A and B are shown apart, each in its own frame.
Chain A
Amino acid sequence: MDVQMREAAQKNFEVENSIETVDAARDAIYQYDELENKKILNEKPWKEDPNYFKHARISAIALLKMTIHARSGGSIEVMGMMTGKIVGDAIVVMDAFPLPVEGTETRVNPQAEAYEYMVDYLSTLQKVGRKENIVGWYHSHPGYGCWLSGIDVGTQSQNQQYQDPFLAVVIDPNRTISAGKVEIGAFRTYPENYKPPGSQESEYQTIPLAKMEDFGAHASQYYALEVSHFKSSLDAKLLELLWNKYWISTLSQTALLTNREYASQQMLDLSNKIAQAESSIGASVSALSGARSIVADRREEPRESELDKIVRDTTKIASEEIHGLLSQAVKDRVFNNLKTRIN
């Protein structure tokens, strides 16, 4: 069959089955509408309402790039920038790129070191037709959860003052591997002296003792956005096809081995917390003697919730270990002891 015939056959096939590898509706998010974007940048609806942005939509490749970069830093914090656009009350992150900056938790505004790199990189993006602007920054918290530290809050507040709209994203690569799912959070800070509406209760996170204070002190200065992901139709198709070659690495992964250091750190931290809790339990119990029942009632609360937290931490560690063991058990059943089983 020569080339022209093949071409004709292909065109026929496509027409008959109206197959498109790019779905106009579903992939509309990939179109960059300059006018639309200019309009919303002029209106700036987020200036009046600090809670304006409620959603963060992150594309598949942005997520992968950030996760891989975070993991490649090991136990050192790394950071990068994200490009994208605004759609309604959502910040859409289309792509991300790393910055050659390390140890980002030691100073406010670490991106200042890499301004030249950033501007350079942006110009290269513009040249290949990617017209999106920078919409935020991401950095990693290896092993200690997705939240904003005091320094992060400082950096993000500055960003929101001078470069709004801006989003802060945090990734924990260690937890990602040990839990088997991506640990990611998206945040925006409140302006100073702003009281958030209603009491915000955070879903509990396991945070190492050393960082607990930092977390608590600044927890009310920012809020989290709902994170969702998207991918193009071609991405989806390729991912489906990828599975045909991917199942090998699924079977062979050894989460327990790769995360051994992280797991032992968790245990150590847990033991410190228990020691702390033990001393505080002793103290408040002796304080109870002679106290009236009402007072005892109130003092009961903090002691209980501390133990509660410890229980949750241990359960989390235990479940992560069990997760790792599950895959080991599967491997064992399938591959080991073949001689004995054959005989």
Chain B
Amino acid sequence: MATVAEAGVSLVIPNAAYSTDLTIGLHPLAILNISDFYTRAHLSRTDLLGGLIGKQTGRDVSIEHTFEFRLADGQIDEDLLNKKLEQFKACFEDLDFVGWFYIPLQLPYEPTEELIPVHQYLAKFHNDTPPLLLILNPSAEAVMNTQSLPITIYETLFTETGKPQFVEVQHRIDSFEAEHIGVLYVAKQDAVVTAEKKDTTESSLAGRGKAKEKMKKDEAADTMTSSNAEEIVSQLNSQANAVKMLHSRLQILQQYLDYVQSLPDEAVSVADLEVLRQIDGLVGRLSTENFGDVAQGQQIDGLLAALLGLVTKGVKYGVELNAKRQMLDVQRGPAAAASTGPPIMTERLSRYYGRS
């Protein structure tokens, strides 16, 4: 494959001419992998390309992992490719080769003629059908000033001329639960986890014996409650942001509907029927169910757990109190110190306090 020396001619067919039933779920890990590759290699290499690993079920394809290709004398190192595919199979049995990615370093940031030989070559790893092509646009304008990811995924379409052309396919972002949490975590600016084992040499200066123990316990309790509070705040924040996004999207829809409604009767046909039908479908799918029982069950479980926490705390305080009371009794005399255990502790306590 020749290195891309001058800007080539884009081979993309505008979407309106062709609609596809392929749905693609792109995972954040794949996106970050490609970006990491670019960061590391963009100064040293002219060709940045690699493979995509994922799962295809019917017309839905998920893209989960990526790896890099090596170019030797302008050819893709096939041994390396095969080896990589083997290694992925060994660890993730149900994932396959689903496509390849390319990071163009100059205009146009779209598939061009130069990519066709590679594309056709890779078909043999993909059951002899043309694989998906993912283009990451690393240019400043694509990354800095837009609202959407600079990633486009193309499907191949063979035209009458026999040459492959590319059609853009919409993708959605899928992620596993753990991946989701990891991405949110990494996205926060200062993601610093403090050491689990704290060095207590400083606190040893502050006091001795019981006082030091108590202080350490207080500190530990403080950090726990404040970190709990932080967690709740950040979780609520992300939920709030998500709801705001939903709200803004709904507002756009509502504005559009208002506009259509305000059109005089003759001009109504201008309205995009496709969009209106989709909105109608969405509204129809909205649930009018109550989910009452299940939701209540969940709530009860959660609140029960909270209640359990409180009760345990109460028991702890009770036992502490009992122990202190016993110490006092011990000082007064051995007979008074005899205790028969927690079950009748509360009874004894009430008698004790009633007496004094």
Contacts and interface: CB of A to CB of B under 8 A. Distances in A.
Interface of A: 3, 6-7, 10, 13-14, 17, 19-22, 27, 30, 59-61, 63-65, 67-72, 95, 98-100, 117, 120-121, 124, 127-130, 146, 173, 176-177, 179-182, 184-185, 197-205, 223-229, 231-251, 253, 255-256, 258, 267, 274, 278, 281-282, 285-286, 288-293, 296-297, 300, 303-304, 307-308, 310-312, 314-315, 317-319, 321-328, 330, 332, 334-339
Given A128-B68, A286-B341, A296 B326 contact: yes
Given A288-B326, A326-B236, A311 B144 contact: no
Contact of B196 (A22, A146, A291): A146
A323 B232 contact: yes
Interface string B310-339: 001101100110110011001100100111
A68 B176 contact: yes
A237 B31 contact: no
Contacts of A180: 181, 231, 235
Contacts of A290: 334, 337-338
B109 to A, nearest CB: 10
B287 interface: yes
Given A234-B35, A246-B175, 10 more contacts: A61-B36, A100-B90, A129-B70, A233-B39, A235-B39, A250-B184, A251-B239, A251-B243, A338-B288, A339-B288
Contact of A124 (B80, B179, B228, B286): B80
B141 A293 contact: no
B270 interface: no
Given A20-B140, A64-B186, A326-B235, A130 B29 contact: no
B36 A176 contact: no
A191 B337 CA distance: 49
B306 A318 contact: yes
Contact of B193 (A13, A127, A227): A227
B125 interface: no
A326 B140 contact: no
Contacts, number: 359
A244 B201 contact: no
Interface stretch (B146-154, B261-269, B274-282): B146-154
A71 B178 contact: yes
Interface in B140-176: 140-141, 143-144, 146-150, 172-176
B159 to A, nearest CB: 22
B26 to A, nearest CB: 9
Q: Which 5 A-B pairs have the closest CB atoms?
A: A71-B178, A318-B309, A247-B242, A321-B302, A339-B288
Q: Is the interface of B mostly helix, strand, loop or mixed?
A: helix
A201 B198 contact: yes
B193 A228 contact: yes
Contacts of B126: none
A170 B143 CA distance: 34
Nearest to A23: B39
Contacts of B220: 203-204
Interface string B290-305: 1100010011011101
A3 B38 CA distance: 24
B149 A238 contact: yes
B87 A121 contact: yes
A281 B326 CA distance: 14
B206 interface: no
B44 interface: yes
B177 A321 contact: no
10 contacts: A27-B39, A67-B179, A67-B182, A180-B231, A238-B32, A238-B149, A246-B28, A250-B180, A325-B299, A326-B232
Contacts of A289: 334, 337-339
Given A19-B140, A202-B197, A311-B313, A245 B185 contact: no
A321 B301 contact: yes
A335 B185 CA distance: 27
Given A200-B200, A336-B291, A63 B186 contact: yes
Contact of A224 (B70, B149, B196, B306): B196
Interface of B: 7, 28-29, 31-33, 35-36, 38-42, 44-45, 68-70, 77, 80, 83-84, 87, 90-92, 106-108, 138-141, 143-144, 146-150, 172-187, 191-201, 204, 216-217, 220, 223-224, 228, 231-232, 235-236, 238-239, 241-243, 245-246, 286-291, 295, 298-299, 301-303, 305-306, 308-309, 312-313, 315-316, 319-320, 322-323, 326-327, 330-331, 334, 337-342
A199 B200 contact: yes
A308 to B, nearest CB: 7
Contacts of A267: 305
A58 to B, nearest CB: 9
Contacts of A199: 200
A296 B195 contact: no
Contacts of B201: 197-198
A332 B143 CA distance: 36
